[in-house]
Chains A and B, each alone.
Chain A
Amino acid sequence: MFPEFVDTRPLRRAVDDALNWVVANWGGAFEAAARPLLGLLNAIQFALLATPWWVIIALVTLAAWLATRQWKLPAIVFAALIFLGVMDLWEDAMITTALMIAATLTAIVVSIPVGVWMSRSLRVRQVITPILDLMQTLPSFVYLIPTVMIFGPGKIPALLATIVYAAPPLVRLTDLGLRSVDPAVIEASRAFGANPGQRLLGVQIPLALPTILAGINQTTMMALAMVVIASMIGAGGLGYQVLQGIGRLEVSRGLFAGLGIVVLAIIFDRVTQSFGKQLQARIGLQEVRI
């Protein structure tokens, strides 16, 4: 056995006590701070559930057609959505989609500025990169338990856990995209006296957009990967069906809900990727492959 040099029990106890103290004294404040997130999630969920199923199918199929201008992807998307409806997964799929969209939107709002900041300073990158590594590798239960303790079980910890897991690729790809913009173009914009804001919005972001879109695509996929874990703490949706399937040893329920998740992933992945390709073709940059 590894010899015990230091007694770590006080440290452990301090961490536990600190968390309890935060829960007791700041729990309300945290909950209040997270209320806008909850509001966003609920609004999206309400909108998706209130919209008739055929309108959603029509809109998503249209988006698929606009993204590719071919019949193949819309046909796949149409079949996939019909599958969700036929298998009685529609409502759960909408709840899961709402969670994914809310997480992705929040991740975009947070990640893109962080990515911009990283791309501008080597030191910031050196600090943030290990944090991103931590966010992606730390088992989600480790931060799920404190968040549940602070916010109580429900949608907020589920949403936060999803954001923590899904945001890093977007930060990384925003940083990468901005740093790979052709230096000759950047230099030209400097030579013409563009200020940092004009340079960022007029040159860097537009040219990095295909890479940033690839990051958003990755974020949606990671968010969907979290739905089962999120449902354990009260997010509901397809993940909850999977959990119930496991709990009741009802293989069919778990299988079809799992397939529902896959179907959602395929729809979002293909549609966003096609939009990204279309954009790249318009800008004339080489394709970003992840």
Chain B
Amino acid sequence: MNAIRYDSSDVAIRMRNVTKIFGKNSLAAQALLDAGRSKTDVQAETGCVIGLNDVSIDVAPSQIFVVMGLSGSGKSTLIRHVNRLIEPTSGEILVDGADVRQMANDELRHFRRHKVAMVFQKFGLLPHRSVLDNVAYGLEVRGVGRHARLEKAAKWIETVGLAGYEKSRPRELSGGQQQRVGLARALALDTDILLMDEAFSALDPLIRSGMQDQLISLQRSLNKTILFITHDFDEALKIGDRVAVLRDGVVQQQGRPEEIVLRPANDHIEQFVRDVNKARAIHVSSIMEQGKFSVCDAAVPPTARCDDVLPLFAANQWVGVIDEFGHQIGRVTSQQVIAALARHTPPARQLLQASPGEQHE
């Protein structure tokens, strides 16, 4: 398995028992929460809104960690705790070993300028500045000289595919282009950690898919730690190395995408899984026959997903799985893939039962 192993020192972002209660009466709300009362109960009794309730996550370096939840689940609150745009009520937040909660104002600014960069759902671009100056904004805040920052900004504008738009104003660009500016602005800071708050949610499906691919390839070349927030389960499965599902401020389940698809922890997650394209979530390495076989004509890396091998079966009976050194470590057949997908698809008998003339339950 290619699960990323790490010990406690090898964690980029660690949140431990983080609770956030919005409202004045947070002590009373905390007491009710500790007594095991639900979010709605606490809100009715104290007027406090529970943003996060005892959230603990570990994000390993160079990983895309996706927090997935519906609106109101607290996912945007969660990501804002990492760079302390929101102060937690209780709990511990460590970024690269540094305790974010203990930072004084100037330490916090230094941390935000050098350690974490953020991309926003609503872009948050400066409307009175050109694309070039927007991308250079973070560097400007950091105190980088004009010439150096514009040069760097121009490079990143090119990387995200916006060359030629340097002098445009943000409002002259489409949503997808604006978010590329937001992405370039964050990447220009060259931080190890990138926070992306529903970065692609405001975009059209096709543009979104393109941006997802671009993000994955950028992450491969830049090796950043990315905390990504989304309400789209498909998006979570597509880009996440690890996924946490959040509901009512509580982490319901976290694990690799296929763990969540194969073993949803509760009905809530089951509901998401039902509608999802499982071929995209299941890695071939988890269903392959291991061992020595004759070398196959077509081969994929172990990180490939069922989605990736399906087209290969049009011309091949077997598809090999090769490790990073080019050695074949196993193989899959179309039957294995179909079996894996079928196993996790809602059984067709529900449809049969509902045939006309039969009585209902």
Evaluate contact between A193 and B109: CB separation under 8 angstroms. yes
Question: Do A188 and B171 have beta carbons less than 8 Å apart?
Answer: no
Interface string of A7-44 (1 = CB under 8 A from B): 00000000000000000000000000000000000000
A190, A191, A283: the one contacting B127 at CB < 8 Å is A283
A189 to B127, CA, bound (A): 13
Contact status B127-A192, CB under 8 Å: no
Q: Is the CB of A190 within 8 A of B128?
A: no
Q: Does the CB pair B123–A191 fall under 8 Å? A: no
Residues of B within 8 A of A198 (CB): 141
CB of B122 closer than 8 Å to a CB of A: yes
Once A185-B124, A284-B127 are accepted as A-B contacts, the answer to whether A192 and B137 lie under 8 Å apart by CB is yes
Write out the residue numbers on chain B whose beta carbons fall within 8 Å of the beta carbon of A185. 124-127
A218 to B122, CA, bound (A): 33
In the complex, how many angstroms separate the beta carbon of B242 from the nearest chain A beta carbon?
23
Please measure, in the bound complex, the distance between the C-alpha atom of A184 and the C-alpha atom of B123, giving whole angstroms.
8
Give bound CA distance, A189 to B124, whole Å: 8
Given A193, A195, A206, which contacts B128 in the complex, CB threshold below 8 Å? A206
Question: In the assembly, what is the distance between CA of A284 and CA of B108, in Å?
Answer: 32
Do A192 and B126 touch (CB < 8 A)? no
Q: How large, as a class, is the contact surface on chain B?
A: 20 to 34
- Residue A285 is within 8 A (CB to CB) of chain B in the complex: yes
Q: Which of A184, A193, A283, A285 contacts B124 (CB 8 A)?
A: A184
CA distance A182 to B189 in the complex (A): 23
The smallest C-beta distance from A183 to any residue of chain B, in angstroms, reads 9
A88 interface residue, CB < 8 Å from B? no
Instruction: State A201–B108 Cα separation when bound (angstroms).
Output: 20
Cross-chain contact A194 with B124 (CB below 8 angstroms): no
Given A185-B126, A206-B128; A284-B117 close (CB under 8 Å): no
| CB-defined contacts of A188 to chain B, threshold 8 Å | 118, 120, 124-125
Total interface residues on A, CB under 8 Å, equals: 21
- Among B116, B124, B138, residue most surrounded by chain A Cβ atoms (within 10 Å): B124
- A192 surroundings in chain B (CB, below 8 A): 112-113, 117-118, 137-138, 141, 189
The residue of chain B having its C-beta at the shortest distance from the C-beta of A186 within the complex is B124
Given the complex of chains A and B, what is the CA–CA distance between A191 and B116 in angstroms? 8
Residues of A58-95 whose CB lies within 8 A of B = none
Cα-based distance from A206 to B126 in the complex (angstroms): 10
Asked if residues B120 and A193 are in contact (CB atoms below 8 Å), the reply is: no
A282 within 8 A of B: yes
- Nearest-CB distance from A177 to chain B (Å)? 13
Find chain B residues with CB under 8 A from A202 CB. 126, 140-141
Q: From residue 199 to 236 of chain A, which have CB atoms closer than 8 A to chain B?
A: 202-203, 206-207
Question: Which chain B residues border A282 with CB–CB below 8 Å?
Answer: 128
Please encode chain B, from 98 to 119, with 1 for each CB lying within 8 Å of some chain A CB and 0 for all others: 0000000000111111101110
Minimum CB–CB distance from A230 to chain B (whole Å) comes to 37
Q: Are B141 and A207 in contact (CB under 8 A)?
A: no
B51 to A: closest C-beta gap in Å: 16
Is B28 part of the binding interface, using a Cβ–Cβ cutoff of 8 Å?
no
Contact of B83 among A184, A191, A194, A203 (CB under 8 A): A191
21 residue pairs from A and B, CB less than 8 Å apart: A182-B124, A182-B127, A184-B120, A184-B122, A187-B124, A188-B118, A188-B124, A191-B118, A192-B113, A192-B137, A192-B138, A193-B110, A193-B111, A193-B113, A193-B142, A194-B109, A194-B141, A283-B128, A284-B127, A284-B128, A284-B169
Name A residues whose Cβ lies closer than 8 Å to a Cβ of B.
182, 184-185, 187-195, 198, 202-203, 206-207, 282-285
